[in-house]
Amino acid sequence: MTGVRKVVVIGAGGHAKVVIDILKSDPTVCLAGCTTKAPGSEVSGIPILGDDSVLPRLYKEGVRHAFVAIGDNWLREKLCRQTAEAGFELVNAISPRAFIAESATLGSGIAVMAGAVIHAEAHIGDYAVINTNASVDHECRIGTACHIAPGSTLSGNVTVGTGTLLGTGTKVIDGIRIGEWSVVGAGATVVRDIPDDCTAVGVPARVIKRRR
Ligand SMILES: CC(=O)SCCNC(=O)CCNC(=O)[C@H](O)C(C)(C)COP(=O)(O)OP(=O)(O)OC[C@H]1O[C@@H](n2cnc3c(N)ncnc32)[C@H](O)[C@@H]1OP(=O)(O)O
């Protein structure tokens, strides 16, 4: 088939397993294998090729596309940057069971899981994860390497800064700004802006830790 991209998946944990299932359903993708430091010969039916030191050889052999399937936001952002700098084009893993509005815009290296909804004029930054059944409503701006965990609901015009995790089932009212590299605990309801570099939990969400 013309236009098929050979893709290496970086990572082999639980998040990678979900991503591999999605990429398997993409007829434009041929999975070359995955990389991990962990022992083993295969994950989700694709070969483990070794650790990331195999990437230059794979590139020489014609694998020019990659997906970084690491759950941790900080590590994923770093590895995405390094992989792109090494010449790989980062593909998106978009479940065929996700809904993405035509007017939404997506960066690269993004995962959108089954049941996720991304509405009109929302923007999803590079390397972000919009996880299972998460809903990102109109004109939201999701920053680079964010993770919107399963079942989270973002009302319209919500901004989430670089590297932030919204834990499972987070609810956010419209117009809220959540800062960079923060964590919102599972089940929180965010009704006021949340600053950078903090952890906020509860209903309504309150800051319980600051990292600077
Ligand atoms: C497909 C997937 O698996 S995607 C993975 C998605 N992952 C998540 O959603 C994880 C989200 N993480 C959380 O909710 C975590 O509990 C965090 C990040 C909020 C807190 O973790 P830590 O920083 O380790 O804090 P710690 O566990 O010490 O808790 C601190 C306090 O906050 C409370 N707390 C922790 N999480 C929450 C929460 N979600 N809601 C309300 N209170 C909470 C604790 O009970 C504790 O209270 P105490 O001091 O009165 O005992």
Q: d(Cα 126, Cα 110) in Å, to the nearest integer?
A: 6
Residue 1 has a pLDDT of 53
Residue 76 has a pLDDT of 98
Domains of the chain and CATH, by start: 5-91 (3.40.50.20), 94-202 (2.160.10.10)
Based on the residue annotation, tell me whether 65 is a catalytic residue of this protein.
no
Is residue 80 left, alpha or beta, with left meaning phi > 0 and alpha meaning psi from -120 to 50? alpha
Ligand 1 and 168: CB distance under 6 A: yes
| 201, 203, 211: residue to mutate for ligand 1 pocket, most atoms within 8 A of CB | 201
Tell me the whole-structure pTM to 2 decimals. 0.98
The number of the ligand 1 atom at minimal distance from the alpha carbon of 18 is: 1
Residue 155 has a pLDDT of 99
Question: Is the confidence metric ipTM above 0.90 for this complex?
Answer: yes
Residue 212 has a pLDDT of 79
Ligand 1, atom 48: closest residue by C-alpha: 208
**Residue 71 assigned as binding residue:** yes
Give me ligand 1 centre to Cα 168, in Å: 10
Residue 3 has a pLDDT of 77
Residues of the chain with pLDDT under 70: 1-2
